[in-house]
Structure 1
Amino acid sequence: MKGLLQSIRGGLNLGRAADWDLSALLNAADARAPRPERHLWLIRLAEWLRRPIGRQEPLDGTGAAAGEAGATPVAVRRLRLMLDVLERHPEHALRVRAQLRSIFGTLDAATLLADFGFSPRSGFGSEFSERLRARLLPATPDTGDLGQLFQMVLSDRGDAGWLETLDETTLQRLGALLLDDTLRAQWHRAAVDSVQMLASQIRAVGLSASIRPRLDPALLADRPFFQLAQCAAQLSEVDEAGDALARRQQIHYLRALLATCRRAIDSVRDHLEEHGVSVDIVFQVEQLHERCERIEALLNCLMSTTPARDWQWLMAQLARGVQTRRSLGALFSHHYSMLARKVAERSAATGEHYITRNRAEWLDMLRRACGGGLVISGTTLLKFAIGAMGLSAFWGGFWAGINYAISFVLVQLLHWTVATKQPAMTAPAMAAKLEQVGGSDAAIEDFVDEVAHLLRTQIAGIIGNVMTVAPVVLLLQLLAWQLQGAPLVSAATAHHALDKLVLPGPTLAYAAFTGVLLFASSLIAGWVENAFVFHRIDSAIAWNPAFVRWLGSSRAQRWARWWRASISGLAANISLGLMLGIVPALAAFFGLPIEVRHVTLSAGQIGAALGTLGVQALHEPVFWWSVAAIPLTGMLNVLVSFLLAFRLALRSRGLKVRERSRLYAALRRRLRQAPASFLWPTARLEQDAAAQPEHR
């Protein structure tokens, strides 16, 4: 008992929180103190409970020290000590009970039970602003909001853990010493009122203009949202009447209505999966689910034969929610996951068109890549012409971006391809192969096949682009020599281009950064297409009276189909082109040494330099260093964009690939047994692809 006696000595200490001991806290309990001081007392008590135990401060008979394996949590051991002291000193127990009554008796418990953890507004942006404000601005204990006080009292990450570990005996002692009939009745009534408030909020959001049209009409036939609010009001009435049997029946009926409302809310997700995702709607759906869960928890507290346990669980969940309410990362990762999934799925649907699985498709990709290289050859020379105009950095980058964007769109309209755009679009298609990897060797082999399909498709695209763009640019340079006696690119510009492209230097870093831009363009494409589908722009083009009058009925239908099929590619091509031109100019404005290195454009610049410098360039090391950088540039363009897109696809599905070692082993085995399958179509892979269901 030595430690116990030491703990009750001393007087009031007004220093740092760490200097407060139990004796000081008990002596400071004053129900007549101003509200901020009473709330601050409760915060100090929580801080004392969490304070680490020193070696000279054993708090229980076991002598266990803080941090020992299997030791009781520090907060629980300190709580037991406080209960021991209060049981031995009834005058302290009376003061503490009066203090708690003065705190909780003057605050509206419904602000904690019905409002805490939920956004007062329905928008994702408003919730982000609220969390940012909470993180940047300090809170005050001078508050009438029990939810805000709750956040200040249980502010530590470990609070939920020790609340969950409280044993039955400690709970009973805590209730007997610190709670009286008045407080119990107050919290019971607050729970009933909170159920009614939450039911009204669920009805309001569930029947709002943004949610109601997306609910399954069959699930609304019995008007469950209206009935939910009415049933909650009836529960309040029977509770006031004191009819225990009627209250239990009403709770059972309320739970049945909650289950129906949940099914209706879940149908919103099905609608979003088909018709596009809105982050605000996803946020509202999640809030509805959380309010339904809160009602369930409160109903458990109201009808349980052991309500202390249910209140304990509810308080622990609320304490866990304190950390969630402060986390901006949790808000983004949670509510953007569905949008990321939809972006990945839309990219996956597009990406299927960029994966070749047999020799005929591989040769077709090579042909289309040659067509893309033909267009990029003109893009390369226009880039030199824009540079020769002597524009300012921004306008030079802007017009270069316009040049790239127009060229990429032209490649799309001609049904050709630019190789490095493929991996960012194909990675989500591959990610779908991983969903069944965990339990199937066949799924692993299927995934390895898909990797082989993708890599050799990239090789075909890069070969087609490079082997076309460089010779065509060189041919145009030679034609310019014949027609005007001078090349299209000056010697100084040609030397400068080669100097920038050499392998020793920042070329590889710039190539990796270009992979980031390639990934960003695929992300933008998914976002734009999702918005296009969500807002039903294709339907507006097809049926809007103004469009029909302007285009005619049949042409409006064709335009709608074309835009629906092309919007993703247009968004990807235009955004990529603009970023390739403008991002380096903006980076230079901020003094950042960032440029882009696109394998096809780089190959075209080397061809242009060779056309200007002639055979002499073949004797200069700078030329061959530039040529040596081309395959590595292409590899980094592909690899970085693919890995980023693949990571997005995995995150969007919430997958944790536990079978990575098996995947790596399968890839290594394929490299040993059939290395050629990663370069061009082999007979075995063609047979496997033919045996699978149609992919496209």
Structure 2
Amino acid sequence: MASSQLDLIELLRAIDPEAPLAERHLWLMRLLDWVRGDTEDPDMAVARVRMLIDAAEVRPEWLKLWHHWWEEFLTTIDATPLLADLGFAPQGALMSELVHRLRRKLMPPTPETTDLSELFPLLFPTDFDAKWLRALDARTLTRLRTVLFRAAPDAPPPNINDYAMRTVMDAVMFAVTQICAIGHSTAVRMRMSEDAKRERAFAQLPLAFVTMREAIQAHGRQSAPALIAIGQLREQLDACRAAASTVYTHLEEHGISVHIEFQLRQLRQRIIRVKALLLCLETDAPAQATTQLLSHLVRVDQDARSLRALMADNTELLAAKVTERNAETGQHYITRNASEYLHMLGAAAGGGAVLACTTWIKLVIGSLGLTAFWAGLVAGINYAACFVLIMLLGWTVATKQPAMTAPAMAARLRNIGAPGAADDFVDEVVYLLRSQFAAILGNVGVVVPVVIGIAMLIERTAHHTVMDGYHAQYTLAQHQIFGPTALFAAATGGLLFLSSLIAGWVENWFVFHRLDSVIAHHPRVTRWLGAERARRWGAYWRQRISSYAANISLGLMLGLVPPVLGFFGIPFEVRHVTLVAGQVGAAAHEIGPQVIHRAMFWGAVGGIAITGLMNLAFSFLLAFRLALTAQNIGAVNRKRLYVALRRRMLRQPLSFVLPVRLKHRPQATEAEPDAAPASDAPVGGDKPLEPPSPPR
């Protein structure tokens, strides 16, 4: 503590009210750094604040210098942008905010500024600042206000209030202006409900602010007319928020726009900011309210620097819509009884027959001697065409469905607090895994004999083999269980997941722009197809667009990702269980019956098994985590689900691969909710305030 006192004395001596702007701000940064200390203990920081006050009280000459310094600070710095705009996008668009945050990470602000919002991150750079500010007690705050902080010398007459009052009022005015701008934008206004449009909440908001300002100027901020006007402004803000929430109903039906969702989130957060400023106006303890507001702004500034938080916050609703649309498609790939299980086996057998042809076409493409990119493009077109053919025939490609069906399972998690919800979820996992076991069994069980049959047909008709002995040995060596097969298979599972995201995004884009209506009703289309056929085509593409997008994108990625990564020196090869089984079968046929006596063959058979496992596990895991995030499933309930899943695996292991009847145990208690409902309180608490999740 003695060294801290010596450091404080040195800091106090260094104060210079006449120093250049940057030097004055650097001195304040050093003072706040001394307050923080090295322990990150809020109580120690509060003790240092008291030490600063004690040192100031016994140094009247220093107090004069400080008051002069503080006067210079108030007259040169603009605090309104800090209160009104900190944490909000300057351009009101997601990409511009992304660029802005990236620039802040790469280019830190300068202390030579008159904008307090730019200086603020230098004064309070860590989350710990929010903690020690919130820990300041009422007595310490009172001493701070009476000893160090006084009204500016150029303060206006009492009937207009002081400098702080004017700053807060200006900040409220700026924020209200931004709220009205978002509410009156065409993208938001045209998607409101008819009732919200008639009520014109955003048009009434500026009038409510003017009424409040006039009441405060005429009667004082704590007078009865002022408090009534503040309450009316708060009610009008709630009306604006309710009107904006009706936009989500339109987005749910007609597709999500990340840009609109970003604007709505900005609007909700600005409303919360205005409520925080109103609390500072109406409170009878302004010092405590101001400190809590500063603590809140520190947390907001920390969040405003995070690129990950920006993307997570503003794509949450899009993720929810992607998973919901994929859930509708994914239900078709889940088998729940023996009849559906057998149907899946048949569909997978058909898919395996088509993929046998795909395997040989891929081998032919490899023998053409094309450059890496063109070979990858032709292979991708081959994959995409075969996947689309399988889709049109109603057949199945193994391990492609988990990315689509995991969201269908997560849809059951919306009422996770209900009794039996965990068992219902585990049932969906069981249905999915045994469906995929049937799909893998059907694909692999057919692709191998069909590949061998095609090879025999080629040998009899063309009198030569497509694959020579060297390439057969090379193929077996490339698919060994102890090689990079598992890693490549996991990465291929990631491509399966990515194709489901692309499918959901394309369908959302199709619905958002109402392309089905364009196809059904546009005069050129109806003249070409006829009204009835155009209507059917619109309905068809509305129903099947995601399936086409998933299959085409997956095929092109399987073909193009390896050469693209290879261009950057990253080795990668596609490892899909059915395609691997076909290639291993072709290689084994070329070597002959003696292949079963070679360890390399059995290593490749093990490679087929590990490929299927990794394809299934990674595509499902990634999609399932996305679905959990979209449904806001917290850590407590996630743990409950994992426990239920492990219990089912121990008690009924065969149910994960065969269509046996599931047995349930009655649950004794109801699951607890993840968290308490979100609060609108603008200050206080450990985390930045977030508005309630939009209706889904």
Q: TM-score, normalised by structure 2?
A: 0.90
Separation in 1, partners of 2:648, 2:142: 64
Contact 1:473 1:608 in 2 (8 A): yes
Separation in 2, partners of 1:201, 1:669: 53
Partner of 1:128: 98
Partner of 1:405: 384
Task: Give the letter aligned to residue 75 of structure 1.
Answer: A
* Structure 2 residue 458 is matched with structure 1 residue 458: no
Separation in 1, partners of 2:628, 2:641: 15
- SS class of match (1:556): helix
Partner of 2:212: 235
- SS class of match (2:592): helix
Contact 1:109 1:187 in 2 (8 A): no
Change (3 A) 1:297 1:665: closer
| Counterpart selection for 1:434 from 410, 413, 421 | 413
| Counterpart selection for 2:14 from 28, 33, 40 | 28
Partner of 1:119: 89
Contact 2:17 2:68 in 1 (8 A): yes
Q: Shift of the alpha carbon at 1:684?
A: 4.8
Separation in 1, partners of 2:282, 2:297: 20
Change (3 A) 1:149 1:657: closer
Contact 1:543 1:556 in 2 (8 A): yes
Alignment of 1:408-423 (within 5 A): 408-423=387-402
**Could you report, residue by residue, the CA deviation over 1:425-449 in whole angstroms, capped at 9, with x for unpaired residues?**
1111112333444553x22222222
Q: Shift of the alpha carbon at 1:621?
A: 3.2
Separation in 1, partners of 2:33, 2:652: 64
Task: Give the letter aligned to residue 549 of structure 1.
Answer: R
Change (3 A) 1:104 1:366: same
Contact 1:376 1:407 in 2 (8 A): yes
Q: Shift of the alpha carbon at 1:662?
A: 4.8
Q: Shift of the alpha carbon at 1:388?
A: 0.8
Question: In percent, how many aligned pairs have the same letter?
Answer: 47
Q: Shift of the alpha carbon at 1:239?
A: 2.9
Partner of 1:587: 565
Alignment of 1:283-432 (within 5 A): 283-432=262-411
Contact 2:413 2:631 in 1 (8 A): no
> Which aligned runs of 4 or more in structure 1 are off by greater than 6 angstroms?
6-9
Contact 1:344 1:428 in 2 (8 A): yes
Contact 1:610 1:617 in 2 (8 A): yes
| Counterpart selection for 1:99 from 37, 47, 69 | 69
- Aligned residue pairs: how many? 656
* Structure 2 residue 86 is matched with structure 1 residue 108: no
Change (3 A) 1:489 1:293: same
- SS class of match (1:105): helix
**Could you report, residue by residue, the CA deviation over 1:148-169 in whole angstroms, capped at 9, with x for unpaired residues?**
1122111122001111111111
| Counterpart selection for 2:470 from 487, 492, 495 | 492
* Structure 2 residue 258 is matched with structure 1 residue 271: no
Separation in 1, partners of 2:615, 2:470: 28
* Structure 2 residue 111 is matched with structure 1 residue 141: yes
Contact 1:26 1:96 in 2 (8 A): no
Contact 1:449 1:685 in 2 (8 A): no
Task: Give the letter aligned to residue 328 of structure 1.
Answer: L
Task: Give the letter aligned to residue 556 of structure 1.
Answer: A
Change (3 A) 1:119 1:666: closer
Contact 2:182 2:263 in 1 (8 A): yes
| Counterpart selection for 2:240 from 261, 274, 294 | 261
* Structure 2 residue 18 is matched with structure 1 residue 39: no
Alignment of 1:515-594 (within 5 A): 515-594=493-572
Root-mean-square deviation over aligned CA pairs: 2.1
* Structure 2 residue 118 is matched with structure 1 residue 151: no
Contact 1:97 1:177 in 2 (8 A): no
Separation in 2, partners of 1:431, 1:104: 54
Alignment of 1:665-684 (within 5 A): 665-684=643-662
- SS class of match (1:181): coil
* Structure 2 residue 189 is matched with structure 1 residue 203: no
- SS class of match (1:158): helix
**Unmatched 5+ stretches in structure 1:** 10-20, 53-65, 689-696
Separation in 2, partners of 1:254, 1:94: 41
Separation in 2, partners of 1:450, 1:222: 45
Contact 1:502 1:622 in 2 (8 A): yes
**Could you report, residue by residue, the CA deviation over 1:299-338 in whole angstroms, capped at 9, with x for unpaired residues?**
1111212222211211111111121122112212222222
Separation in 1, partners of 2:504, 2:587: 37
Separation in 2, partners of 1:651, 1:7: 46
Contact 2:189 2:197 in 1 (8 A): no
Task: Give the letter aligned to residue 391 of structure 1.
Answer: L
Contact 2:376 2:560 in 1 (8 A): yes
* Structure 2 residue 460 is matched with structure 1 residue 474: no
Contact 2:42 2:131 in 1 (8 A): no
Separation in 1, partners of 2:268, 2:662: 50
Q: Is the deviation greater in 673-682 or in 334-343?
A: 673-682
